[in-house]
Structures are given as structure tokens and as C-alpha cells.
């Protein structure tokens, strides 16, 4: 159980002990849930940003090098064949 879960559980237990009306307890519980949802949204956005940066920077570099090497090899072969055709004629 995380600290936030423990905090929420303690808050709800305190509300029950104080014999608050169920409506008041529900309102307070909803506010707690809203704040936790907001925190989760922020964490998800931060995670998505970090994930996109990691994929773009770390994993694209080797792919880019391989693609450029294959394209360069292909173009060199084509130009070599064209030059060989010109020289042989």
C-alpha cells in the first residue's frame, strides 16, 4: 500500500469516527479522489513525455544509421553501374 493510499484510508476512517453525516463524508471523499486523479493525470503526462523522448533519442539513432547506410550503399551501387555502363560503351 502506498503512502497516498494509506493517507486516504486514514482520512476516511477519521471521517467515520467523527460520525459526520454521510453526505459530508461523501463530499470530502470525492474531493480526495479528485485530487488523486489530478495527481495521476500529471504523472501520466510526465511518463508519456519521458517515454517519447527516450524512444525518439535512444532508439532512433541506430535505426537512422542503418537506414542511411543502406540508402548510401544502394545509391553507390546504382551510380557505379551507371558509370560502368558509360565507360564500357
What is the per-residue pLDDT for 20?
62
Instruction: From first to last of the 89 residues of the chain, give the pLDDT tens digit.
Output: 566 677 777 777 776 666 666 677 677 778 888 888 989 999 999 998 888 877 666 667 788 889 999 999 999 999 999 999 888 86
Domain ranges of the chain: 3-88
Question: CA 53 → CA 41, 42, 45, 50, 85, distances in Å?
Answer: 18, 17, 12, 5, 47
What is the per-residue pLDDT for 62?
81
Amino acid at each position: 500500500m502506498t503512502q497516498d493510499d494509506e493517507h486516504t484510508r486514514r482520512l476516511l476512517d477519521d471521517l467515520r469516527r467523527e460520525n459526520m453525516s454521510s453526505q459530508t463524508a461523501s463530499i470530502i471523499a470525492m474531493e480526495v479522489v479528485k485530487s488523486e486523479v489530478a495527481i495521476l493525470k500529471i504523472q501520466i503526462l510526465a511518463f508519456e513525455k519521458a517515454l517519447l523522448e527516450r524512444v525518439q533519442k535512444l532508439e532512433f539513432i541506430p535505426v537512422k544509421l542503418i537506414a542511411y547506410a543502406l540508402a548510401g550503399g544502394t545509391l553507390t551501387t546504382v551510380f557505379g553501374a551507371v558509370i560502368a555502363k558509360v565507360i564500357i560503351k
